[in-house]
Amino acid sequence: MKEATENKSITQELPALTPLTFIPVYKSVIWGGTRIGEYKQERLSQNSIGESWEISGIPGHETIVAAGPHKGKTIGELMAQYGPRLIGQRLSSRSIKEFPILIKFIDARDDLSLQVHPGEEIARSRHNCPGKSEMWYIIDSAPDSTIISGFSKPITREKYREQVKEGEILQSVARHPSRPGDVFFIPAGRVHGAGGGNFILEVQQSSDITYRIYDYDRCDKSGNRRELHTEQAAEAIDYRVYDNYKIDPIAIKPGVDVLVQCPVFEVRLLTIDDSLDFTTPDDSFLTMTCIAGKADIIAGNTVTTLSCGHSLLIPAELRDITIKGNARIITASC
């Protein structure tokens, strides 16, 4: 008890936090393109960038503070220093060591693999990490783009194995037209994949565990096919068929729509036309990602400009925020 009290005192003595911006982690992949650099209006040195990890606490892929008094620190170092002041007392009391969500852009120049992410029980037992539920907001899409989410007809585990073996698993998945503004919630266990031509903002639990089911028989630059995880996926898949796979946003007040609300995160869309005042969620951090326009984020005496394609983190100890500008911003909290 004495040690906990001393740690709390040390945390309280640290300087006040301000909104934090980070250096993204870029991922070059077989299906990636050039859209992310164009969207951010930045010249990137990597090729075939499929993902930009905007805010990440995953070990080995942690984002680093880009500016301000904490410049050069990883988000993990800030978590260790500030604890509840950064992420909130509720999350901090659960001894969470990694930042609990990952924010990323996805540029699907080509089809992503058909895949599934494990739930909490399997992820903890196999990988000692959280399960992985996620949501996709379609920023832009080609006219014929689609999203695979769930099954279109009942399928058993045995039938799944048979169809994967025969290369026929796409016959059983549900394929949906993809349009800008569409929202898909993909809970752990749901088979999914993004078709070529989609540009997506993803909010997910902090986990990098993916079981690849089908990869269109593609080969990498060395001529090798990527590994499939047929049996691992078989235990993780939710084989049920659902009525709806797209999410309809819920307007809660002018300029604020709830996109996804689930046990592990809540995602909202803010539409700013001149100015918007709001209070951040009680006892939680807030991530903000600008998907159109530009705005100034005013927190206390700090003004941070947030432009299209960029993200920032509002620490839990900051509550009253003013946004000025013309922009669309997606927020996430836990």
Sheet holding 192-194, edge to edge: 173-177, 146-151, 192-194, 114-116, 211-214
Cα separation, 86 vs 91, in Å, equals 10
Cα separation, 141 vs 276, in Å, equals 29
Cα separation, 181 vs 200, in Å, equals 10
212 among known catalytic residues: yes
Amino acid letter for position 305: T
Phi-psi region of 82 (alpha: psi -120 to 50; beta: other; left: phi over 0): alpha
Q: 23 pairs with which residues across the strands?
A: 64
Residue indicated by tokens 């809970």 = 187
What is residue 164's three-state secondary structure?
A: helix
Phi and psi of 62, rounded to 5°?
-75, 140
Q: 327 pairs with which residues across the strands?
A: 272, 293
Cα separation, 225 vs 238, in Å, equals 26
Cα separation, 182 vs 272, in Å, equals 19
Cα separation, 251 vs 233, in Å, equals 36
Which one of the listed residues 212, 225, 240, 328 is annotated catalytic?
Answer: 212
3-state secondary structure 172-195: CEEEEECCCCCEEEECCCCCEEEC
Residue indicated by tokens 């040390």 = 10
Sign of torsion over alpha carbons 119, 120, 121, 127: positive
**Residues with a known catalytic role:** 212
